[in-house]
Amino acid sequence: MAFYLVRARLWMERGEFRRLRPFGLALTASLENARWDPETDEAVWEEEDYCSPPLAISNRDG
């Protein structure tokens, strides 16, 4: 299992991912428990990855 610390600027509606299967409920719970970083205007949360091998990390900025 892998853990990722995720940072994002959110623009979605509350609960928008709830119906997504199979990860919607877990993702929604993570987002609802995210902490807000006022210095960067980002939500910060931890995600668990149970895939084997773990998912690849992508970075849109580079």
Query: Tell me, what's the pLDDT at 54?
Result: 72
pTM of the model: 0.65
* pLDDT at 7 (0 to 100): 93
Q: Look at residue 62 and tell me if it is in a domain.
A: no
Query: Is residue 18 one of the residues assigned to a domain?
Result: yes
Mean pLDDT value of segment 53-60: 64
Q: How far apart are the first and last CA of the chain?
A: 25
Query: Which tokens hold the place of 32?
Result: 């609802």
Q: How far is the CA of 15 from the CAs of 4, 21, 47, 56, 60, in angstroms?
A: 21, 13, 17, 25, 24
pLDDT, average across residues 14-30 = 85
Over residues 5-11, mean pLDDT: 89
**Taking 90 as the threshold, does the pLDDT of residue 52 lie above it?**
no
Segment holding 4, helix H or strand E:
strand 2-8
Residue 56 lies in a domain: no
For residue 10, the enclosing domain spans 2-49
Residue 42 included in any domain:
yes
Number of domains the chain is built from:
1
Give strand pairing partners of 2.
49
Identify the pLDDT of residue 36: 94
For residue 18, the SS3 value is: coil
Residue 44 domain flag: yes
